[in-house]
Amino acid sequence: MFYDRITKFYTLRFFLKILLLFMFLVSQLWSMNLYKKGDSNENTMFLLSGIHGNERGAYLAACLVVTKYDIQKGSVWVIPNINMPSIIENKRGINGDMNRKFHKISEFDKDYQIVSRLKNFIAQDNINFLLNLHDGSGFYRPTVINSTYAPYRWGQSIVIDQKNMNHEFGNLYEISQNIINNINQNIYNSKHHFRTKNTKTNMGNASMSKSLSWFALNNNKPSITSETSFELDVITRVKHHLMVIEATMNELGIEYSRDFNLDNDEIKEVLYSGLDIVIEDVLLSLDGVKPVIKNVPLVSKTPKYKSSNPLISLREMDNVYNVLYGNEILTSIEPEYRDKSLTNMPVFVNIDNEFREFVHMPSVVNVKSHFSIEDSRYYRINVIGYVNNYEDETNIDIYRSNFIQDYAIDQNRNTYRVEVYDKRDDSFVGMFLIKYEE
């Protein structure tokens, strides 16, 4: 009898363990994206950010490397959103400090799967160097000046665990000083200059011995950390991180290009350009998007989505879907649930009386002056914001001036929705966007 109870207990415990691990896998692994840029046969830098969800300057900078940098020699691996659930909540760590779980972590810890994956990535042979991005408190100084400028602060520092290690790129102090000398000459306020902060983890720093960086060093992977200051605005923090990233790539012989200047205005512009999300068969351009978009046709109450940007996510709250960029809500979508058509044939659109385009859904159609959609025996067309007395809005030249501009999805009133429905049962086929030139 006692033996049976013990057996049942351990059997139940085993299945509970499997269930918990499965739940953690489903709930969190989707959120961490690894991007490999360049040729991994050359030196490879592993760029990591977002382990602390409230450090917006760090994860936005890493995201720009993913979306706006071209690696021409060498390789850069990037995970910009390690702790996406915490990024969305703008919290350091919703399950505790993930960066203190690399020495030991319970398999029941909600961060277990992500930490385990990171350890496996770090251990891969072709990674030569790790650069971690963080935003930290105050301004690091080797001696106390005041409560903001002090040794216990982290901001505006390059953090190393020890001066040297036995590796091609193991001269950590020298590398950090080279980076600092490179970037400080372009930071005009001397109060914002970087300094090397050596945590001397190898001499018994109990807290830092649990970190990702120390785990990397113990697996013979040189690792340093860029810390910008929370005292600075987000765009300046992004700029300083990018300066550190580029200086580190220079140290490793990694060549790169970008099509913007490291200027606050240009950085802000590229951060908010080219953003989009596809929700089921609905594409929304997020450049200058309005705060609220109403009556968006959706099929499922748990819609699948994708985006070209790793920091874009979709979250439902009170039957409204918020589109987030990190923790920032870009727009809120009020859905109109429809049955889904099994038909998905393209639509013919005549653009500016110049050419005829075969439009698949979802997509964006760029227009200079006007457009018309050809009639189809399969589809009913609803051009949102264009008002007339016809049930089907085909074979009509539609100019920007014909729209009620409040129906545009963007604040510049250039982009409008075209919804396509099945004539047989009025089920939803898909949607595309018409975008007029400025």
In this prediction, residue 27 carries a pLDDT of 41
- State the Cα–Cα distance between residues 226 and 419, nearest whole angstrom: 47
Q: Tokens 């200051």 — which residue? A: 229
220 occurs within a structural domain: yes
- One domain, residues 212 and 266: yes
pLDDT band with cut points at 50, 70 and 90 for residue 31: low
In this prediction, residue 212 carries a pLDDT of 99
Identify whether the C-beta of residue 380 lies closer than 8 Å to the C-beta of residue 427. no
In this prediction, residue 381 carries a pLDDT of 95
342 occurs within a structural domain: no
- One domain, residues 246 and 387: no
- One domain, residues 257 and 305: no
51 occurs within a structural domain: yes
- One domain, residues 266 and 310: no
In this prediction, residue 4 carries a pLDDT of 54
Average pLDDT over residues 251-280: 98
24 occurs within a structural domain: no
DSSP per-residue string spanning 83-148? THHHHHHT-S-BTB-GGG-SS---TTSTTHHHHHHHHHHHT-TT--EEEEEEEESSEE-SS-SSSS
Average pLDDT over residues 191-214: 98
Q: What is the pLDDT of residues 108-137, one digit of tens each?
A: 999 999 999 999 999 999 999 999 999 999
Q: What is the pLDDT of residues 411-422, one digit of tens each?
A: 999 999 999 999
CA 200, 202, 205, 211 torsion-angle sign: positive
**β-strands 347-351, 355-359 pairing:** antiparallel
- One domain, residues 312 and 396: no
In this prediction, residue 23 carries a pLDDT of 39
In this prediction, residue 216 carries a pLDDT of 99
In this prediction, residue 376 carries a pLDDT of 92
Q: Which residues of 173-185 are buried (b: 16+ CB within 10 A; e: fewer)?
A: eebbbbbbebbbe
For the chain, the domain total comes to 3
Identify whether the C-beta of residue 56 lies closer than 8 Å to the C-beta of residue 89. no
CATH of the domain at 100: 3.40.630.10
DSSP per-residue string spanning 385-414? TB--S-SS--S--EEGGGB-GGG-SBTTS-
331 occurs within a structural domain: yes
Angle formed by the axes of helices 56-68 and 264-271, nearest 10°: 70
- One domain, residues 211 and 70: yes
The token pair that represents 254 in the structure block: 């990694």
275 occurs within a structural domain: no
In this prediction, residue 10 carries a pLDDT of 44
**β-strands 149-150, 157-160 pairing:** unpaired
Q: What is the pLDDT of residues 146-192, one digit of tens each?
A: 999 999 999 999 999 999 999 999 999 999 999 999 999 999 999 99
- One domain, residues 292 and 208: no
- One domain, residues 173 and 219: yes
- One domain, residues 251 and 289: no
- One domain, residues 168 and 316: no
CA 155, 161, 163, 168 torsion-angle sign: negative
Domain that holds residue 101: 32-270
Distance of CA 297 to the CA centre of its chain: 26
369 occurs within a structural domain: yes
- State the Cα–Cα distance between residues 326 and 90, nearest whole angstrom: 8
- One domain, residues 322 and 380: no
The token pair that represents 161 in the structure block: 């665990």
Of 314, 337, 360, at which residue does a domain stop? 337
Identify whether the C-beta of residue 311 lies closer than 8 Å to the C-beta of residue 63. yes
Burial of 166 (C-beta count, 10 Å sphere; 0-12/13-18/19+) = exposed
Q: What is the pLDDT of residues 322-339, one digit of tens each?
A: 999 999 999 999 999 999
Q: What mean pLDDT value characterizes the chain?
A: 93
9 occurs within a structural domain: no
Q: Tokens 């089921």 — which residue? A: 280
What's at 37, amino acid-wise? K
| Percentage of residues of the chain with pLDDT beyond 70 | 93
- State the Cα–Cα distance between residues 242 and 49, nearest whole angstrom: 12
- One domain, residues 247 and 383: no
